[in-house]
């Protein structure tokens, strides 16, 4: 069965992806900045990514899941906040992909799945740096997919809308503290954005990852998991 690395695989969406693939017989490794994963690695640092690659060796599947968000209106975004978004949401994806792609190409097989967001397909108020960085992830996905399409490697992105995870609730609490609204009141607004009137589950993201691994005809796609929010 395939050998898989899930970055940020010790919590939130990542841990659910890792567990599902394990349940289906994949050999799964995870990494995180703390010591909870198979590898302790800050994927935004090239030397740590290179060290992880040296220990892990070649893999068949890379799931770039690391990401983060800082909320705030555009005029209140600092330069460091902007840089942090692109470092966390984009640089880690770039470094890990560049590290593990060569052996995929030499093996004539590989799957790269980038966990993006509907924020990479459309705009949202008060998270412009996050939106910009997720658009960049999707741009990389589409460009690289064309480069490697004839080499047995596929590159795709999954674009969930609001997923019921601790990260969502943490970012929502920041907004709640600023606005005086409750977390649950804001979560209900997220649900209302979806035509299905619900949040996406981590399990749905994990199932889509498995689908992309097992379906080679899908390449260069940004698959929206949003209940139809991005339609119009």
Residue 159 class from Cβ within 10 Å (0-12 exposed, 13-18 middle, 19+ buried)?
buried
Give burial (CB, 10 Å; 0-12/13-18/19+) of 14.
buried
Q: Give the number of C-alpha atoms closer than 13 A to the C-alpha of residue 95, restricted to the C-beta side.
A: 23
52/40 Cα distance (integer angstroms): 8
Kindly report the backbone phi and psi dihedral angles of residue 48, in degrees, each rounded to the nearest multiple of 5, phi listed first: -70, -35
Write down the catalytic residue from 2, 26, 124, 130. Answer: 130
Exposure string for 47-59, b = 16+ CB within 10 A, e = fewer = ebbeebbeebeeb
Residue 180 and residue 174 in contact, taking contact as beta carbons nearer than 8 Å: no
- CA gap 100, 132 in Å, rounded: 25
2 is catalytic: no
Q: Which residues are catalytic?
A: 130
């Amino acid at each position: 069965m395939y050998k898989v690395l899930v970055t940020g695989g010790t919590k939130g969406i990542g841990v659910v992806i890792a567990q599902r693939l394990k349940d289906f017989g994949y050999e799964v490794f995870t990494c995180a900045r703390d010591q909870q994963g198979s590898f302790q690695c800050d994927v935004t640092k090239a030397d740590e990514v290179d060290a992880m690659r040296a220990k892990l060796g070649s893999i068949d599947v890379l799931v770039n899941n690391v990401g983060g968000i800082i909320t705030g209106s555009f005029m209140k975004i600092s330069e460091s906040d902007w840089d942090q978004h692109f470092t966390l949401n984009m640089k880690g994806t770039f470094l890990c992909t560049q590290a593990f792609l060569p052996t995929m190409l030499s093996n004539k097989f590989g799957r790269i799945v980038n966990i993006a967001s509907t924020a990479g397909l459309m705009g949202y108020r008060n998270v412009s740096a996050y939106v910009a960085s997720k658009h960049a992830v999707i741009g990389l996905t589409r460009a690289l997919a064309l480069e490697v399409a004839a080499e047995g490697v596929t590159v795709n992105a999954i674009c969930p809308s609001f997923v019921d995870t601790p990260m969502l609730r943490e970012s929502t609490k920041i907004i709640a503290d600023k606005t005086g609204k409750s977390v649950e009141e804001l979560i209900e607004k997220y649900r209302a954005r979806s035509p299905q009137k619900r949040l996406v589950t981590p399990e749905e993201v994990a199932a889509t990852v498995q689908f992309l691994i097992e379906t080679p005809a899908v390449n260069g796609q940004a698959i929206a998991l949003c209940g139809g929010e991005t339609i119009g």
